[in-house]
């Protein structure tokens, strides 16, 4: 079994929490997407727009998916024209859109400042998940993650996070917000970036996405994945009440320090303690522990036994993710039979442990595959490093 050289994969923890977010609109008009209800009222008040009219606007924007003010026929024509000169409802441009043979779609969205992120739609028979990005790049340097090799560029603003959902819905033709049979029934914050290191924007965006008179995706259908930013976990549970997924990936601190270097700051015991306290977690709403299967690194049956022991007193389920290799990476994916044996041990111990099926590989529907502006910012990957970076976080369990 090949084991990557441990020394070569240990990278320093780099966190730049002060990165600022959000590009201005392409023509200088103020973007309304991403404003809270109160902020929207405040913006519109100087134009003589009363609260009930502002509520109508909210409905047009987030329930009907209006792309411009001219469509808002319940508002006076003169008001629509005035709003059009001051405000915009623009979405990011899809610089690329691909569709996999399995139906998975990937968009490369470009913001007015030229930065790009990926958003992925993973359809299932009667539902579908949208994998949304929170940052351009990531400040954390998980050794098996391609996004972690990119230079962090900036946080996304709340509007840029919400606009990913809206632009995906535009493309899927899913307006007005359907009551049932949605193609985007679930949201997973599992795209590029660490959502809890851009907490304010992510929280603001998710509140807009959850608003019942709009996109209306309930907190029970939203999952936020974190590498373990312990101090923000409780707040996330209390304020947002979304499902939590935790990128555990190792059962010992020495190994997790290498794989997920933020572990040196918030080690396993602290992380699991925060999980025990996560508001709203119970046997009906379990915390998902993501565990990437790395051949000869973290996939032994004694690792599996230790995982069972660690999670014994937590309402937990495990998501085993076959590792997706990318050019230059030292890790390999565990053998299929090892993944099956690992999963069986967990299942026999009463831990649900589905194996995530890779989706959208043929269109490289993965984080860390940017080919244009953002790629030029990379520190350590060659310019052609967009080859088969297999899917990452692309087939979350959609519940």
Residues interacting with ligand SAH, by CB under 6 A? 142, 144-145, 190, 194, 225-227, 247, 290, 292, 321, 323-324, 392-393
Q: Report the C-alpha gap between 239 and 91 in whole angstroms.
A: 27
Residue 237 near residue 245, CB atoms below 8 Å: no
CB of 145 to ligand SF4, least distance (A): 3
248 touching ligand SF4, by CB under 6 A? no
- Which of 32, 35, 49, 138 contacts ligand SF4 by CB under 6 A? 138
* 263 binding ligand SF4? (CB under 6 A): no
| Interaction between residue 244 and ligand SF4 (CB under 6 A) | no
Q: Which is nearer to ligand SF4, 185 or 263 (CB)?
A: 263
22 contact, one of ligand SF4, ligand SAH, none, CB 5-8 Å limit per kind: none
Query: Measured from the CB atom, is 346 or 393 closer to ligand SF4?
Result: 393
Q: Comparing C-alpha atoms, which of 73, 299, 31 is closest to residue 166?
A: 31
Shortest distance (Å) from residue 148 CB to ligand SF4: 3
Find how far residue 351's CA is from the centre of its chain.
25
Within positions 173 to 212, which residues make up the interface with ligand SF4, using CB under 6 A?
A: 193-194
Q: Does residue 118 have an active-site annotation?
A: yes
Q: Is 306 a catalytic residue?
A: no
Count Cβ neighbours within 10 Å for each residue of 207-239 and write b for 16 or more, e otherwise.
Answer: bbbbbeebbbbebebbbbbbbbbbebbeebbee
What's the token pair of residue 256? 């997790």
Beta strands 243-247; 287-293: pairing state: parallel
What separation, in Å, do the N-terminal and C-terminal C-alpha atoms of the chain show?
36
Check 160, 275, 367, 391 and give the catalytic one. 367
Greatest CA separation for the chain: 71
Picked from ligand SF4, ligand SAH, none, the partner binding residue 120 (CB below 5 to 8 A depending on kind) is none
Quote the least distance from Cβ 348 to ligand SF4, whole Å.
Answer: 29
Using the minimum distance from each CB to ligand SAH, give the nearer residue, 55 or 378. Answer: 378
In this structure, what token pair is assigned to residue 201?
A: 């924007």
Cβ partners under 8 Å of residue 220, min gap 6: 243, 285
Instruction: Give yes or no for residue 145 binding ligand SF4 (CB under 6 A).
Output: yes
State the Cα–Cα distance between residues 399 and 396, nearest whole angstrom: 9
- Residues 318-352: b if buried by 16+ CB within 10 A, e if exposed: bbbbbbbbbeebbbbbbeeebbeebbebbeeeebe
- Residue nearest to ligand SF4 as judged by C-beta position: 148
CA nearest neighbour of 317 among 343, 295, 340, 337: 343
Interface map 289-308 toward ligand SF4 (x if CB under 6 A): --------------------
Report what 321 binds from ligand SAH, ligand SF4, none; CB cut-off 5-8 Å by kind.
ligand SAH
Instruction: Give dist(CA 91, CA 283) in Å, integer.
Output: 39
Structure-block tokens of residue 143: 């050794």
Nearest distance in Å: CB 237, ligand SF4: 19
Q: Can you read off the two tokens belonging to residue 323?
A: 């590792």
Q: Name the catalytic one among 118, 160, 258, 391.
A: 118
Least separation in angstroms between residue 89's CB and ligand SF4 is: 29
Site for ligand SF4 contains 142 (CB under 6 A): yes
CB of 203 to ligand SAH, least distance (A): 15
Q: Which stretch binds ligand SF4 (CB under 6 A): 96-104, 139-147, 204-212, 357-365?
A: 139-147
CB of 313 to ligand SAH, least distance (A): 22
- Contact residues for ligand SF4, defined by CB under 6 A: 138, 140, 142, 145, 147-148, 193-194, 227, 247
Residues taking part in catalysis:
118, 367
């Amino acid at each position: 079994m090949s084991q990557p050289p441990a020394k070569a994969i240990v990278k320093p923890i780099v966190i730049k929490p002060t990165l600022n977010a959000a590009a201005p609109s392409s023509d200088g008009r103020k973007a309304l997407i991403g404003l809270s209800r109160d902020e929207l009222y405040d913006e519109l008040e100087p134009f003589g727009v009363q609260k009930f009219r502002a509520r109508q606007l909210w409905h047009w924007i987030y329930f009907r998916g209006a792309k411009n003010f001219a469509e808002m026929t319940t508002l006076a024509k003169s008001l629509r024209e005035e709003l059009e000169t001051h405000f915009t409802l623009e979405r990011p441009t899809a610089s690329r859109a691909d569709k996999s043979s399995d139906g998975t779609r990937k968009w490369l969205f470009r913001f007015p400042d030229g930065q790009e992120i990926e958003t992925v739609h993973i359809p299932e028979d009667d539902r579908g998940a949208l994998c949304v990005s929170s940052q351009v790049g990531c400040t954390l340097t998980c050794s098996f993650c391609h996004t972690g090799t990119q230079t962090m560029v900036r946080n996304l603003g709340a509007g840029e996070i919400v606009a990913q959902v809206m632009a995906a819905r535009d493309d899927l033709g899913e307006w007005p917000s359907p009551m049932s049979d949605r193609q985007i029934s679930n949201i997973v914050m599992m795209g590029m970036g660490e959502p809890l290191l851009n907490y304010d924007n992510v929280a603001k965006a998710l509140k807009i996405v959850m608003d019942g008179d709009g996109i209306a995706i309930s907190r029970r259908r939203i999952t936020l994945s974190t590498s373990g930013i312990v101090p923000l976990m409780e707040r996330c549970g209390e304020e947002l009440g979304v499902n939590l997924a935790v990128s555990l990936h190792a059962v010992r601190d020495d190994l997790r320090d290498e794989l997920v270097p933020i572990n040196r700051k918030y080690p396993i015991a602290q992380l699991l303690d925060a999980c025990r306290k996560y508001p709203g977690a119970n046997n009906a709403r379990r915390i998902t522990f993501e565990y990437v299967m790395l051949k000869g690194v973290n996939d032994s049956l004694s690792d599996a036994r230790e995982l069972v022991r660690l999670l014994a007193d937590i309402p937990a389920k495990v998501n085993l993710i076959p590792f997706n290799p990318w050019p230059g990476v030292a890790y390999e994916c565990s053998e299929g039979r090892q993944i099956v044996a690992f999963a069986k041990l967990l299942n026999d111990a009463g831990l649900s442990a589905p194996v995530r099926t890779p989706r959208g590989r043929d269109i490289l529907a993965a984080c860390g595959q940017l080919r244009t502006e953002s790629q030029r910012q990379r520190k350590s990957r060659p310019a052609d490093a967009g080859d088969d970076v297999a899917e990452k976080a692309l087939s979350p369990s959609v519940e």
